[in-house]
C-alpha cells in the first residue's frame, strides 16, 4: 500500500470511536455520545431515518475482520476494509504483530489463511488465482492459476495441499501447482476438508457431508429452532469456520425474511458434528453485517461486530473475542490501531 493510502487509513482510524467495557453477550456500555450506537445497546437507530424516509447508509466505514493467528509467530493475518471519500474503497490483507503492536506487511489480496505450521500465507488473488507467501522473507513462493476457481482457497490439514472449489467440484493441488486432482465432483456448495476422506459444506438446503471414496452425499439432521425459516442460500463462503479439532462449525445464517423482519431468527450458529446438534450463539446483527467467525481455540472464537452511529465516519466493525455461549471475553481490535505499514 502506498504511503498516502496508509496515511488516509490511519487518519480515518484515529477519528473513529472506541468501545467500552464488556457485557455478557454484546459489547458493553459506552461513554457518551454513543448512547444510540447499535454496537452497544443492540437497537437500530431507526429503519427509515431520514426526512425522505430512505433506507439509512448501512455500509461499514472501517472494518477489521477474519483475523487468524500464526502458530509459529503469534502474528495476525486479517482483512481490513476502508470505505473512503469519493467512493474510494481500500481493502486488503494485513500482517500484524500484536505483542509488539507493530504492523508487518500489507498485501492487496482478498483473504488469507496461515498454513498449519504458521509459516506460509495462502491468499486469494482474484482472477481465478491464488498465491502462497513466505511471510518471514516477504517473498512470493507460488502463484497458482486455475480455470473457474472460486474464492477462499484452503490448506489441507497436513499443509501439503491447497483445496479450491470450482464449477466442476472440489479440487486438490500441491503447493507448486502440480498434480491437481478433483476430490469431489459436481459440488454445488462450498466444501472443505474434514478428515482424510470426509468433506463438509453448506448449500441451499443446509449442512452436508461427502465421502470422497464413495462419492456419497450425506445430510444428517441438525434440528434447529425456526430451522425452516433460515436461509442457507445466502451463506457467504467466508462466513463459516471449522474448529481446530474438526468437531464443530460456526456459521452465519440469515432468515428468509431478510435482516430486518427476520433478525430474531438469523444469527451465528454452532453446529456440533459429533452430537448432531445446532444452536444459536449470537443474534443476527442489524443491517445484515456478518460476524466472519474465526476459531482461535476449540472453545474461543473471533467475530466482527458492526457498530452504527449517526455519524457516518464512526460506523465500524471491530473484532471481539467470544466463548461458545456468545459471551464477550474482550475486545481485540480498536479503530486507532495502526495495522498497516507506512
Give the mean pLDDT per block of 10 residues along the chain (342 residues).
41 38 42 44 51 55 93 96 62 94 92 96 90 95 87 91 87 92 79 90 87 84 83 82 96 87 89 94 87 97 84 78 94 87 70
The torsion angles phi and psi of 67, rounded to 5 degrees, stand at: -75, 130
| pLDDT at position 151 | 75
| pLDDT at position 28 | 47
267 lies in some domain: no
Residue 168 is part of which domain span?
109-220
72 lies in some domain: no
Q: State the CATH number of the domain containing residue 176.
A: 2.130.10.10
181 lies in some domain: yes
316 lies in some domain: no
Block residue for cell numbers 476494509: 81
For the chain, the domain total comes to 1
| pLDDT at position 68 | 97
- Residue 160 corresponds to which cell in the numbers above? 501439503
192 lies in some domain: yes
- Residue 234, Cβ neighbours under 10 Å: how many? 17
pTM of the model: 0.84
Find out whether 250 and 301 touch, Cβ atoms under 8 Å. yes
193 lies in some domain: yes
CA dist 155 and 334 (Å) reads: 29
Amino acid at each position: 500500500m502506498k504511503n498516502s493510502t496508509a496515511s488516509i487509513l490511519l487518519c480515518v482510524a484515529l477519528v473513529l470511536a472506541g468501545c467500552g467495557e464488556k457485557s455478557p453477550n454484546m459489547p458493553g456500555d459506552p461513554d457518551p455520545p454513543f448512547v444510540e450506537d447499535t454496537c452497544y445497546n443492540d437497537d437500530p437507530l431507526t429503519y427509515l431515518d431520514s426526512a425522505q424516509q430512505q433506507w439509512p447508509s448501512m455500509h461499514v466505514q472501517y472494518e477489521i475482520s477474519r483475523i487468524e493467528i500464526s502458530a509459529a509467530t503469534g502474528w495476525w493475518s486479517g482483512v481490513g476494509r476502508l470505505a473512503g471519500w469519493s467512493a474510494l474503497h481500500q481493502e486488503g490483507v494485513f500482517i500484524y504483530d500484536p505483542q509488539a503492536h507493530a504492523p508487518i506487511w500489507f498485501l492487496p489480496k482478498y483473504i488469507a489463511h496461515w498454513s498449519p505450521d504458521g509459516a506460509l500465507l495462502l491468499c486469494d488473488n482474484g482472477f481465478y488465482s491464488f498465491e502462497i507467501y513466505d511471510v518471514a522473507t516477504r517473498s512470493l513462493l507460488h502463484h497458482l492459476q486455475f480455470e473457474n476457481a472460486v474464492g477462499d482457497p484452503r490448506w489441507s490439514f497436513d499443509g501439503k495441499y491447497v483445496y479450491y472449489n470450482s464449477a466442476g467440484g472440489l479440487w486438490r493441488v500441491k503447493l507448486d501447482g502440480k498434480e491437481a486432482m478433483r476430490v469431489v465432483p459436481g459440488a454445488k456448495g462450498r466444501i472443505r476438508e474434514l478428515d482424510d476422506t470426509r468433506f463438509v459444506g453448506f448449500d441451499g438446503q443446509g449442512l452436508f457431508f461427502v465421502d470422497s471414496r464413495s462419492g456419497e452425499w450425506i445430510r444428517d439432521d441438525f434440528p434447529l429452532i425456526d430451522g425452516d425459516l433460515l436461509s442457507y442460500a445466502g451463506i457467504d463462503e467466508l462466513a463459516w469456520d471449522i474448529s481446530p479439532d474438526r468437531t464443530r462449525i460456526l456459521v452465519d445464517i440469515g432468515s428468509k425474511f431478510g435482516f430486518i423482519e427476520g433478525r430474531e431468527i438469523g444469527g451465528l450458529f454452532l453446529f456440533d458434528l459429533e452430537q448432531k446438534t445446532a444452536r444459536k450463539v449470537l443474534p443476527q446483527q442489524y443491517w445484515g453485517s456478518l460476524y466472519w467467525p474465526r476459531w482461535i481455540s476449540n472453545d474461543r472464537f473471533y467475530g466482527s461486530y458492526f457498530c452504527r452511529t449517526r455519524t457516518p465516519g464512526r460506523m465500524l466493525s471491530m473484532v471481539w473475542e467470544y466463548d461458545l455461549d456468545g459471551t464477550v471475553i474482550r475486545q481485540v481490535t480498536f479503530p486507532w490501531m495502526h495495522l498497516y505499514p507506512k
